[in-house]
Amino acid sequence: MQPKKTAETIETTERSLDIVREVQEQGGATIGEIAAEFDISKSTAYKHLATLNSRGYLVKEGDRYQIGLKFANRGEYARARKPGYRIAARKVDELAERTDEEVDFVVENDGRAMTVHLSYDPNNPYQEKSVDQSNKHWRTGTYYNLHCIAAGKAVLSTLPDEEIEAIIERWGLPERTNQTITDPEELYDEIETIRDRGWAYSEGEYVEGLAAIAMPVYEPNGDPLGALAVNGPAYNLQGETRYDEIRKVLSDVVASFEAELEDVDYPDSFAEGRML
């Protein structure tokens, strides 16, 4: 879905960014494919691609353009710039070790959930259940719709209703499985429940058989930072004893996370990694 255009945006820049998105989604693209997709001349398509290539954001392999590693540099800087994100990396590892399950730290970005840090289990049976291999799931930088994962619902619970409404209007509530919440009123009801109890749960809403428990993390000024989630096969997270155990450990880690945030100096003066 395309972002809404406003009077403050520059069309040429938007087109270049749309081309980057298309190259990623298609797993690479030729000049002709870009020209056809955007209904522009091949010479115009070439200029966009050549400019991005010259700056390292795209690389040319044969006659196809692919995403370049310059984005990794920018992404790593963005991930390390904020103190809370750096703390999150340690908390993800701590939570994964204490629960023996996969863990991720998710933030809201552009109206969706983005994975900023995660633990990785190569034996995870859900690794390949992605309909979009260009945005393969269970890796940092992955986008999800907020409404169909526990971490996303935890994030939604921290947002004002008008912002939630705008997100739904833009991205909708697409159905991933027959357990996905697709009715706005049902989602609002669940968000209220999450706000009351302080944690979110999902089971089979994104991928059948996958369950997760998540809690929001707040900065000292009360702003939401993101959400920590414990993910695993539903049979691993079921059972009152196991479920309560994971929820307690998650709560402990979130509490220690927020306590560490209290000791951070704001604004952050992080300067490492400012590579051009």
160 and 124 within one domain: yes
Q: So what's the pLDDT on residue 238?
A: 78
Handedness of CA 240, 246, 249, 250 (dihedral sign): negative
Could you give the angle at the alpha carbon of 111 between the alpha carbons of 20 and 129, nearest 5°?
A: 70
Q: Alpha-carbon distance 27 to 85, whole Å? A: 29
Structural domain contains residue 30 = yes
Instruction: For 26-63, give one letter per residue: b (16+ CB within 10 A) or e.
Output: bebbbbebbbeeeebeeeebbebbeebbeeebbeeeee
The tally of domains found in the chain comes to 2
Q: So what's the pLDDT on residue 51?
A: 96
C-alpha distances (whole Å) from 187 to each of 184, 191, 193, 209 are: 5, 6, 10, 20
Structural domain contains residue 26 = yes
Q: So what's the pLDDT on residue 268?
A: 47
Structural domain contains residue 180 = yes
Confirm if 143 and 21 have CB atoms less than 8 A apart.
no
Structural domain contains residue 5 = no
Q: Which residues contact 129 (CB under 8 A, 6 or more apart)?
A: 137, 207
91 and 150 within one domain: yes
Confirm if 205 and 181 have CB atoms less than 8 A apart.
yes
56 and 78 within one domain: no
Structural domain contains residue 59 = yes
229 and 168 within one domain: yes
Q: So what's the pLDDT on residue 79?
A: 86
80 and 59 within one domain: no
60 and 91 within one domain: no
Identify the three-state secondary structure at position 157: coil
195: containing domain: 73-262
In the 8-state DSSP scheme, what is residue 217? Answer: E
Which residue, among 2, 227, 257, 231, has the nearest Cα to 108 in the 3D structure?
A: 227
Q: So what's the pLDDT on residue 123?
A: 57
193 and 256 within one domain: yes
Confirm if 153 and 159 have CB atoms less than 8 A apart.
no
Structural domain contains residue 114 = yes
105 and 62 within one domain: no
Structural domain contains residue 1 = no
104 and 31 within one domain: no
Structural domain contains residue 268 = no
pLDDT one digit per residue (tens) for the chain, 276 residues: 555 555 567 999 999 999 999 999 999 999 999 999 999 999 999 999 999 999 999 999 999 999 999 999 998 888 888 899 999 999 999 999 999 999 999 999 999 999 999 996 655 555 554 434 444 445 788 899 999 999 999 999 999 999 999 999 999 999 999 999 999 999 999 999 999 999 999 999 999 999 999 999 999 999 999 999 999 999 888 777 888 999 999 999 999 999 999 988 755 444 444 444
23 and 128 within one domain: no
**216 Ramachandran zone, left/alpha/beta (phi>0; psi -120 to 50):** beta
164 and 191 within one domain: yes
CATH of the domain at 61: 1.10.10.10
